[in-house]
Amino acid sequence: MQHHFNTGLLILSSLVSFLSSYTAFRLFQLSAQRAGTARHWWVAASAVAIGGGAIWAMHFIAMLAVQFDGMTIGYDMERTVLSLFVAVGATAIGLSAVSMLGVRTWVILGGGSVMGIGVASMHYLGMSAINIDAVLTYDIGLVLLSVGIAVVASIAALWLVAKLNRDRARLAGAAVMATAVTSMHHVGMAAVDIRMTGSSAGVDGLRPTNMLSPDNVAYGVAAVTLFVLTVGIIAAFQDHRAYLRRKAAAGSLAAAEHLQERWRKMLDDVPQIIWSTDADGSGVYQNQRWFDFTGSSRANAQEWIELIHPDDRPCVLSEWQACRARRHAYHGQFRLQHFSGGYRWVSTKGEPKLDEHGEVSGWIGTCTDIDARVEAETDLLASQALTKGIIEASPDCIGVLDVAGTVLFMNDAFRLNAIMSGGSYGLGSVWGAGFPSDLHKAAKLAVETALSGHTNSMTLAFDSPEQGLRWWDTAISPIQNDAGDVFRLAVIARDITRQKLREAEARWTASHDALTNLPSRILFHETLANALADGEPFCILILDVDNFKRINDMLGHQSGDALLIELANRLVSSIGSHDFAARIGGDEFVVILRNLTSDTDARNRADRIADHLKQPWLHSGRLFDCAASVGASLFPDHGDVQPLLMKNADIALYVAKTSGRGEVVLYDPPMRLATERRTTMLARARAALDDDLIFPCYQAMVDLRTRRLVGFEALLRLRHRTRGVQLPGTIEAAFEDAELAARISERMITCVLADIRRWLDKRIEFGHVTINAAAAEFRRGDFAEQLLSKLAAADISTAYVQIEVTETVFLGRGAEYVEQALKLLSAHGVKIGLDDFGTGYASLSHLRQFPVDVIKIDRSFVQGLPADAGGVAIVDAVISLGRSLNIAVVAEGIETLDQEKLLAGLGCPFGQGFLYGKALPASRVPNFARAFSRKERLAA
């Protein structure tokens, strides 16, 4: 159908839509400043302005602009009015959603969508109100596009007005809304296709009674537009009046607000929480520190009572009410919720504000974070309780004295051990007052030493009828204050009686023969040293039981032991009270004869001893010959040092045994047999060195607890051209010759280090290697330095090497070099082992004097196990001694599983012997180590 447009009316429709939208958004922004019913009325006015003016009026003005040739358009009144309500209603829903639910993205999306759908609904409802003799059809694509334009543009307009809330936002929103309505209208009009039906009522045709003419619609549009403009003028007038009131109020309040802001800022900068409440305790003010501490905000502040720990809340409320009733200030400590989610201790002080009647009208106070202090106090109390608990639980006697020595504190052990106090005092008494009189001076000196700032350590012995002799390791230490002055003394005493008894038992066991109860080699050499120091003439007798091996083999070990006991008893009964007898070997005894008047006197006394030993021995109903060969040397005629006297007596013994059993021979210088034997050994040793016949073999050392291979001992061997491999005994004398010992040591060390280097390169797990060193080797003076240098040159850690010495190195010539060398080696990480422990010449004092890490139980003590009760006792004592001194113990000569089991049960950590293999050449060690490791893994 032919139609044309009235351009003026089209422009007017767009202008009406823009002005109505601006007015509506102005009214909507004003509604945000109202509350309750007033807000709803302003929102309703906004909806009327948009729905009636911007949407409905615009639509029908634009429809009036369309003129069809030869035809007049009418409008159905009900649908026309209904379209007005649809436009107003949809707009009211969208604006109300934002007003009530807040400016949220999803609210704006929903409200804008409802408004856009309302615009489209109003348009197509208005189109359906057209009364024309034609058929209207629609392009569905353009219809959907028009709806989309309306929705998107409405959301954008609502977002601009609601989010930005400024004049420019209103203008932009009004423009977007007007564009949305206008664009939607014209796209919607483009979507419709009007086709004439062939009949027409014409301009003056008959219309239904409810049909509106274009003039009627024009009047209605004018009325709605006038209403919208009137509402806009009223809103502008009200807004201007409000602006004037705000401006006047702002001038009068500016100074007060400025002052209030300054005070608020000052209070916010205070590090403490400052608060005020009304009379009931409801919060009125908190400074910024409150919100920083609790994590709450001014917009969402919680009552302070809600933030108190639930366990503390009842007590706080009770105390608060009591202070309110008495009109007293409140002061309390409780846990307050912290922004971290936990609770922290705070100290709160509150002063009541009283009105003119003296009643509490409010409170003002401060709140201080004391959590660190409370935690520190709690930790201190816990630490004190823990310390006291530890002190009370300690078996040691612990006490505290003042500077006058008065007892201020004592633990239970101190109170229960009255012997520590001499049984005469407690708290408030002077420490040491109850000691025996001979200890008063020591106690006084100990207190004075501690008062001078130094710790005094001493060992006290108390003998009481109730407990007998008890030993106490006692220390008194100063306790200083912050200024460094001594104001208290700490006394700690430990009962070491059992340790002392064990030490005494170990000393006796180590210095006495378990079978005969005679002194052993160790005690003999100590006695001999004392005799040499006295300088008086004496005689040394070395006795060797004749035919002992034959008796032992014929009658058994028990009979052999019985013979040794019998000989020991006879020996003791045949010497004087000033003489000394000891067993220094299997069937070897030694005697020191004192108070000699002449050489003849020594010979006569030695003959009497030998005659007494020759008496027949009755055993198991049979008589046996019993005799001993005796070699003697005199001091000072035959030597003035131990080795020489013992050597000469041994030479004499050798002569006695070779000249006839049961003889007594006094050393005579022409006795050269022993010297010749020594010379032969030295010659053999030189030849072996020159021909490169000396080499090491390695015997395994095992952890008895795990059967793990822990190392090897390097044992000297030499090749003989006709006799094969020889033991070191064939060149025994060479180890006492400084030159030969040095060359042998050089050879052995070179070979051993070369073997270790090869094993390390092949990653063989061999543990460590023990190298034996004789006394003569230390006499060079640089033995330790040379060994350390060789280790460094071979790039071998000291952890792979141990040095093993016998007890003889501690005595005799060169002993002064031994201590220096051993300490130097120990300082560089080389462990020191003491071989043949219990059979040599050294005393237990050497275990403290020298850096001994390992002691070896001699095979002579092991070979009789487990049947030899005396051997078991000696081994047990040595193991206990090692454990007490923190020294490792190695048992030598283990040949049976029973011996291994017994030693492991006694707590011996390590062992070696034929049970684990014979000494091997270096080439066989890697395979042996690997095989041993596999056995260990299989056993595990």
Beta-sheet strand order (sheet of 330-337):
283-286, 273-278, 360-369, 343-354, 330-337
* Residue pLDDT, tens place only, 846-903: 777 889 999 999 888 998 889 888 889 999 999 999 999 899 999 999 999 999 999 9
For residue 420, which phi and psi values (nearest 5 degrees)?
Answer: -65, -30
Mean pLDDT of 477-484: 88
For residue 599, which phi and psi values (nearest 5 degrees)?
Answer: -65, -35
Q: Which of 730, 728, 631, 725 is nearest to 677 (CA)?
A: 730
* Residue 200 to residues 71, 127, 129, 196, Cα–Cα distance (Å): 7, 19, 17, 9
Beta-sheet strand order (sheet of 456-464):
407-410, 397-401, 486-495, 468-480, 456-464
* Residue 359 to residues 322, 355, 363, 737, Cα–Cα distance (Å): 14, 6, 11, 111
- Does the structure show a pLDDT above 90 at 92? no
Q: What is the pLDDT of residue 41?
A: 74
Integer Cα distance of 619 and 624 in angstroms: 7
CA dihedral sign of residues 644, 646, 649, 654: negative
Integer Cα distance of 112 and 57 in angstroms: 20
Q: Which of 201, 160, 212, 164 is nearest to 21 (CA)?
A: 160
- Does the structure show a pLDDT above 60 at 672? yes
Integer Cα distance of 59 and 248 in angstroms: 44
SS (H, E, C) 384-452: HHHHHHHHHHCCCEEEEECCCCEEEEECHHHHHCHHHHCCCCCCCCECCCCCCHHHHHHHHHHHHHHHC
* Residue pLDDT, tens place only, 160-188: 666 655 566 667 777 777 777 777 777 77
Q: What is the pLDDT of residue 203?
A: 39
Residue 790 tokens read as 């060789």
Q: Which of 736, 621, 725 is nearest to 675 (CA)?
A: 736
CB 834 within 8 A of CB 844: no
- Does the structure show a pLDDT above 50 at 201? no
Q: To which residue do tokens 């009643």 refer?
A: 359
Q: Binning pLDDT at 50, 70 and 90, where does residue 709 land?
A: very high
Q: Binning pLDDT at 50, 70 and 90, where does residue 940 land?
A: very low
Query: Strand 134-138 vs strand 888-891: parallel, antiparallel, or unpaired?
Result: unpaired
Burial classification of residue 244, based on how many CB atoms lie within 10 Å of its CB (0-12 exposed, 13-18 middle, 19 or more buried): exposed
Mean pLDDT of 654-664: 76
Q: What is the pLDDT of residue 204?
A: 42
In a 3-state reduction of DSSP, which class is residue 788?
A: helix
Omega within 30 of 0 (cis) for the link into 669: no
In a 3-state reduction of DSSP, which class is residue 308?
A: strand
**Interior/surface letters 56-79, b for 16+ CB within 10 angstroms, e for the rest:** bbbbbbbbbbbebeebbbbbbbeb
